């Protein structure tokens, strides 16, 4: 019996990347998909970019599903210098909401540094936090929800 030489495939790795094996069937589907012009508008021009995008979207979807299952979209993680860091499990991101003061009316406004407004869901959640209300009271500020025009 003759031993067959095993030829190992050449592995090309880029810094910060790794290789995985996928089936020929899935590879054929990816080849079809990346030829569509709609995919190019997302900045996806290679198989690697497609797989990276598809898996990232999948992971985001799973996390959003899990967050909705536990009905726990937000979590206040940290409070410092009139700023609260809120974890948004739907967006899988941290958001900073800061207390702003209106000197003329002595009112507190809450401002989301990521969404750049006073009325997003993170501001709404921040209004429910005792740390925020307590901090406003200590400064003698009235708390009122503000709606951006
Ligand atoms: Zn926000």
Model confidence band, residue 7 (pLDDT cutoffs 50, 70, 90): low
Neighbours of ion ligand 1 (CB under 5 A): 95, 112, 115, 120, 122
In 3D space, the residue among 148, 139, 130 whose CA is nearest the CA of residue 108 turns out to be 139
User: Which residues, 6+ apart, have CB-to-CB distance to 77 below 8 Å?
Assistant: 85, 86, 87, 94
Burial of 33 (0-12, 13-18, 19+ CB in 10 A): middle
What's the confidence (pLDDT) of residue 1?
46
Dist. CA 123 → ligand 1 center (Å): 6
User: How distant, in Å, are the alpha carbons of 23, 77, 90, 95 from that of 31?
Assistant: 12, 43, 31, 37
Residues 46-68: tens digit of each pLDDT: 998 899 899 988 888 887 777 77
Model confidence band, residue 28 (pLDDT cutoffs 50, 70, 90): very high
Is 80 exceeded by the pLDDT of residue 19?
yes
Question: Would you list the domain boundaries of the chain?
Answer: 24-70, 74-144
- The H or E element spanning position 106 is none
């Amino acid at each position: 019996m003759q031993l067959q030489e095993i030829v190992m495939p050449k592995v090309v790795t880029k810094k910060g990347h790794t290789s995985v094996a996928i089936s020929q069937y899935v590879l054929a589907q990816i080849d079809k998909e990346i030829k569509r012009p709609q995919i190019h508008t997302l900045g996806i021009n290679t198989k690697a970019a497609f797989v990276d995008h598809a898996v990232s979207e999948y992971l985001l979807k799973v996390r959003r599903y899990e967050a909705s299952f536990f009905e726990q979209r937000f979590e206040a993680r940290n409070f410092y210098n009139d700023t609260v860091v809120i974890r948004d499990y739907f967006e899988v991101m941290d958001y900073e909401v800061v207390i702003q003061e209106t000197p003329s009316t002595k009112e507190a406004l809450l401002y989301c540094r990521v969404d750049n407004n006073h009325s997003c869901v993170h501001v709404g959640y921040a209004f429910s936090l005792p740390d925020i209300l307590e901090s406003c009271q200590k400064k003698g500020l009235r708390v009122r929800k503000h709606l951006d025009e």
